[in-house]
Structure 1
Amino acid sequence: MNVIFMGTPGFAVPTLEKLHESSHKVVLVVTQPDKPSGRGKKLKKSEVKEKAEQLNLEIFQPDKIKKQENIDILKSYNPDVIVVVAYGQILNKEILTLPKYGCINVHASLLPKLRGAAPLNWALITGETKTGITTMLMDEGLDTGDMLLKSEVEIDENMKVGELHDILMHKGAELLIETLDKLEKNELAPQKQDDSLSSYAPLFNKENRKIYWSLPAKNIHDLIRGLSPWPTAYFIMDEKTIKVYSSSYINDDSDYEPGYVIKANNEGIFVKAKDGIVILKEIQMPGKNKMSVEAYLRGNKFPEHITL
């Protein structure tokens, strides 16, 4: 099949590589425009663009994919299918219906659970014990299209989103090739999503990344690992934002108030939650690098017996 591939971040790269190695032909790679990055505001290529250049594939970086002249460019490649992995722009009906086999999305959840932009993070934050990849035929809704294939992954209770990301980006690549192969042989039966079972995985802001000590210890631990290494959970102490990258928790029915710092030692910073104690293991103070609490305490003190 002739494939137009649309993707931008590192998560999409293994799928592009697998496609390139497969029997299918990548006729065009569509990715987001280069963006200013870092202090020097130097233009930075997307990870998909870097990989496409290595593979000598043709690249297209429209500012707005929905402009008619850009749609006409896509049409000129006469694709059998468009594959979309974390591209970052919304496709309109004209693009969705352009290829013979439609547009196929590789989505990082077991749909209809966790539709939206941040399914990896929210799978951990909500305490799911399994998640996975769904390939689906895209429609005009937000991750509402008919499902094609699924691949499941067990979630360990201490797994961080960085680990889950790396597992699922490779699973997604394998599942996409299987999906295309079966689609070409007419071996797939698209399945409607049950909207009553759907949930949403929104983007992050200051509010939903903040640690509230009045929550149960497990919920706080799940928030921390679901946002590590990015975009990071945090709490405020003395009007300073302290990021947390790693934690554990223990059950405890002592009657300290939530947010009370019980102790800080080489094992971590022990903070009382609603039911249990959260042990902060890796933190980042303002203007500093992230480090283990053990390393931080070698040259600094963390206040004990205060309430955060």
Structure 2
Amino acid sequence: MEVGMRVVFMGTPDFAVATLEDIINAGHIVEAVVTQPDKPKGRGGAVAMSPVKETALEHGIEVLQPVKVKNDNEFYERMKQIDPDVIVVVAFGQILPDSILELPKYGCINVHASLLPAYRGAAPIQWAVIDGLEETGVTTMQMDHGLDTGDIIMQSRIRLDAKETGGSLFDRLSSEGGRLLVKTLEAVENGTATRTKQDDSLSNYAKMLTKSLGNIDFNEGAVNIERLIRGLNPWPSAYTHLNGKTLKIWEADVCECNDDNMKPGTVFNVTKDGFCVKCGKDALSIGEVQLEGKKRMASDAFLRGFKLESGTVLG
């Protein structure tokens, strides 16, 4: 590619950074980056920039931060001035109005972390792990008015590892998304890109994650709980309660338990190396935990500092 496309990039979290870097490295001209306004973060409430803004400033790219793209005339006029060939959108966090969708020559292209039409919505990465998928991927899509409903341009598939977490899959799909987007821009510019309508009947919705989702119900089967633990690692994390304190569970393995009289949530088989918890079906051998106010640690280290007895009921 001799002269790159003129791009406006819209994105906010870590996930979008790899795509922005790949666009720059591929020789495209990023005229501006649009990201969510700076927000207070952490206990001190210090105002923090989005990861995408930090990356844009490192590269000396103009940053725009409209509170609401939809109603911001000044922002729209700036977009018209820039007159980009394409707008690339990766986890930006705002709905784009028609005026923006229709502005660039090649429209708006979105990178979405699922194999659309499956897992439209806010948290496709984590739900892929929680639901026990063997395969997921990324999709580049021509944006339209709907939520992740536009025509598919390209897809790339990856297999989930047996111990895949929300965090590890996030990193893998972020890298894959950048690569796929660069290929997509090349095809769009060359006029070789194909666009395939989504089959809405095959769609499902990956709803937003909440902290309460991580509250473990030990009446569920161990397989489902183990997936939940991995899917919510590192955020918002899966947890239970021990003596009134929150106990985060970071890592566990499914193991057999044939005692049907034992109440789900009951701790058993406590050794110096670890412990098990009865579930609705089978049990979990707990590998890594974090008691409220303490550091994350392997179960053997936890048991050296905390007297946990068989028969204790979690929850």
Category of TM-score, reference length = shorter chain = over 0.9
Report if the CA contact (8 A) 2:274-2:303 is conserved. Answer: no
3-state SS of paired residue (1:228) = coil
The one-letter code sitting in structure 1 at the alignment partner of 2:34 is V
Taking the aligned partners of 2:166 and 2:211, their CA distance within structure 1 comes to 18
Q: Which of 244, 257, 262 is the aligned partner of 2:249?
A: 244
2:209 is equivalent to residue 216 of structure 1: no
* Counterpart mapping for 1:1-308 below 5 A: 1-66=5-70, 67-255=72-260, 256-308=262-314
TM-score, normalised with respect to structure 2: 0.94
What letter matches 2:82 in structure 1? Answer: Y
116-125 or 41-50, larger mean C-alpha shift: 41-50
Q: Tell me, in whole angstroms, the C-alpha distance in 2 between the residues paired with 1:264 and 1:147.
A: 51
- SS state at 2:206 partner: coil
CA distance in 1, matches of 2:74, 2:195: 31
Equivalent residue letter for 2:231? G
How far did 1:207 drift? Answer: 3.5
Indicate if the aligned counterparts of 2:210 and 2:236 stay in contact, CA closer than 8 A: no
The AA in structure 2 aligned to 1:230 is W
What do you get for the CA RMSD once the two structures are aligned? Answer: 1.3
- Sort the Cα spacing of 1:242 and 1:169 in 2 relative to 1 into closer, same or farther, 3 A: same
Counterparts of 2:205 and 2:188, CA distance in 1 = 28
Per-residue CA deviation, residues 151-177 of structure 1 (Å, 9 max, x unaligned), is 111012211111111111110000000
Alignment deviations for residues 77-101 of structure 1 (CA, whole Å, 9 cap, x no partner): 1011100111111111111111111
How far off is 1:197 after superposition? 0.9
Q: Closer, same or farther in 2 for the Cα pair 1:224/1:78, shift >3 Å?
A: same
Conservation of the 8 A alpha-carbon contact between 2:265 and 2:279: yes
Mapped to 1, the partners of 2:271 and 2:73 lie a distance apart of 61
Write out per-residue CA displacement over residues 213-233 of structure 1, whole angstroms, 9 at most, x where no aligned residue.
111111000000000011101
Moved >6 Å (runs of 4+): none
* Other structure's SS at 1:111 match: coil
Deviates more, 1:167-176 or 1:265-274: 265-274
**Structure 2 unmatched ranges of 5 or more:** none
Q: Could you report, residue by residue, the CA deviation over 1:82-128 in whole angstroms, capped at 9, with x for unpaired residues?
A: 00111111111111111111111100011111111111100000000
TM-score normalised over the length of structure 1: 0.96
2:21 maps to amino acid: E
Offset, 1:275:
1.5
Q: Is the 8 A contact 2:12 2:91 kept in 1?
A: yes
Percent of aligned pairs sharing the same letter: 47
